[in-house]
Amino acid sequence: MPGLRLLANAPAQTTVPGTITAGATSIVCASTANLPVPAANQQFTFLILDAGNVAWNPSTPLATPFEYVWCTTNTVGSNTLSGLTRGVAGTTGHAFAAGAIVAYALLADDLTAAFLGAANPGQFLFRAYAYAGGNQSLATPGPTQIAINTTDFDPNSNVNTTTHVYTCPVNGYYLCCWSIETDANVVTVASLHQLGSRTQTYLGSGTLNATGNRPDSGGSTIVKAIAGDTLALWAEFVSANCNVSNVNTIGRNYLAVHLLSV
């Protein structure tokens, strides 16, 4: 995965003596000394302009093929840019004639990632909402994992609806919210369980809703996690057997997760 964004001083550009193929993941330039040199988990963005094209016009530089690229390695000794992710920021990979210009580019996404600490802007899209989509009978006493087996949204497929856990895709700080509602007037505590880099239980608080016989319990917290940690919704009932109520309802018996920062 690309690394933290680097900013550069202008002018930061060079030319490419040879051709560039559409799928090339490294480029040998005339000089890369004035471009950023990423360390581990860092990157910068550059723009390729088709200056070697006979139709090239510097007055309208984007009239011929152009492309935004992420770069994770700048080997100044050999003037090589490598670890390239081609065709980012809405562009596609192109082949370029010899003489193309490589210029440092500053995109809005770069500013967002540089200041918030993301490896790429897509990281801030890591989010999910999962809920219980079927009846679940809960024994007492003792904790029970809630079967969050239905998703309202999970664009990065981080929820496992079979094991009922959310797996953190990257190191970072995650906002987590959870809630359950039961069908009996029993003492109920809903909690968030984290496994992986740490074993931690985050307890929620409970109240009776307006009907007086469906206790709600839930909570929210910010969790520090590493990639691969799992988050799950659990509940404990201490007075009688009961069922998770209002199943297959988005607003009940849910776990919501959103990456805040890395």
> What is the rounded CA–CA span in Å between residue 244 and residue 258?
24
Examine the pLDDT at 73 and tell me if it is beyond 90.
yes
- CATH class name, domain 126-261: mainly beta
pTM beyond cutoff 0.75: no
CATH 2.40.30 matches 4-118: yes
Parse the chain into domains and list their residue ranges.
Answer: 4-118, 126-261
Higher pLDDT, 209 or 46: 46
Q: Identify each DSSP E strand in 89-184 by its residue range.
A: 100-104, 127-132, 137-138, 143-145, 148-153, 159-160, 165-167, 172-181
pLDDT digits (tens, 9 = 90+) for 195-231: 999 888 887 766 545 455 556 778 899 999 999 999 9
pLDDT digits (tens, 9 = 90+) for 98-108: 999 999 988 77
pLDDT digits (tens, 9 = 90+) for 144-196: 888 999 999 998 889 999 999 999 988 889 999 998 877 766 657 788 999 99
Nearest to 255 by CA among 202, 218, 200: 218
